């Protein structure tokens, strides 16, 4: 009887242990999905999204027969506007210097031609220039004309302009430590002045072989 009681006690303890283990495993299995679930925060998801904003594409400069696209693009970056350039120049001319003058906020392009002087001596030559100046600063000296200047109205690409014979002659005044400017019409210089958008332009030449009509045609090809 005692042996049977002991046997029954052991059996009850074993059964209770199995039941406890089963219950404990069921708790783990029931809790496991809850512990492994990580809710996604909508706010966090929005905050970590990277907006798909396309990078701005720089406007490529058109091909020019005298200046590469890289040169014009670099000048445009310095100046702060799309620098213009002539696509046609008179026969015999070649590109010279081109630069951005930060003090005057202007771009200067110079074209040169060398010709023999009258008399037939090859060693005697002279160089003439054709210069394009452009700027958004209308206060620059090159765009200032005297009130009594004889301005001939012209049209450049449907925009009003003016053609003037004459130029400013600059001289340095040592006493005042500054330049003084005098308008002179006897220098053999002709200039065309017009505007393209916000850009003020001046096409100036001291070449007496170029007439007014030719200068207008060159100005119309500045793009």
Q: What is the mean pLDDT of the chain?
A: 79
Mapping DSSP to helix (H, G, I), strand (E, B) and coil, where does residue 129 land? strand
Q: Give the pLDDT confidence of 145-164 residue by residue, as tens digits.
A: 999 999 999 999 999 999 99
> Is this structure's pTM higher than 0.75?
no
Nearest to 202 by CA among 185, 211, 189: 189
pLDDT of residue 38 exceeding 60:
no
CA angle 177, 180, 181 (to 5 degrees): 160
Nearest to 93 by CA among 68, 118, 66, 119: 66
Give the CATH number of domain 69-220. Answer: 2.60.120
Domain regions of the chain by residue span: 69-220
**How far apart are the C-alpha atoms of 193 and 106, rounded to whole Å?**
14
Tell me which H or E stretch contains 160: strand 159-165
Average pLDDT over residues 137-141: 91
Percent of the chain exceeding pLDDT 90 equals 60
pLDDT of residue 183: 93
The sign one gets for the Cα dihedral 127, 132, 137, 142 is positive
Average pLDDT over residues 187-194: 97
Mapping DSSP to helix (H, G, I), strand (E, B) and coil, where does residue 86 land? strand
pLDDT of residue 184: 94
């Amino acid at each position: 009887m005692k042996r049977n009681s002991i046997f029954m006690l052991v059996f009850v303890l074993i059964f209770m242990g199995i039941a406890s283990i089963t219950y404990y495993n069921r708790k783990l299995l029931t809790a496991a999905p809850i512990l492994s679930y990580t809710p996604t925060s909508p706010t966090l998801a929005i905050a970590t999204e990277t907006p798909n904003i396309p990078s701005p594409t720089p406007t490529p400069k058109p091909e020019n027969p005298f200046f590469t696209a890289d040169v014009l693009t670099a000048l445009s970056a310095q100046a702060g506007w799309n620098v213009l350039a002539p696509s046609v120049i008179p026969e015999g001319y070649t590109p010279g210097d081109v630069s951005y003058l930060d003090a005057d906020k202007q771009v200067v392009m110079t074209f040169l031609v060398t010709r023999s002087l009258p008399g037939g001596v090859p060693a005697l030559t002279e160089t003439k220039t054709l210069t394009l100046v452009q700027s958004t600063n209308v206060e620059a000296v090159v765009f200032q004309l005297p009130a009594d200047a004889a301005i001939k109205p012209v049209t450049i690409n449907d925009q009003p302009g003016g053609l003037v014979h004459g130029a400013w002659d600059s001289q340095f005044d040592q006493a005042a430590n500054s330049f003084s400017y005098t308008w002179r019409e006897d220098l053999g210089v002709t200039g065309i002045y017009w505007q393209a958008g916000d850009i003020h332009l001046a096409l100036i030449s001291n070449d007496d072989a170029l007439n007014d009509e030719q200068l207008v045609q060159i100005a119309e090809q500045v793009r």
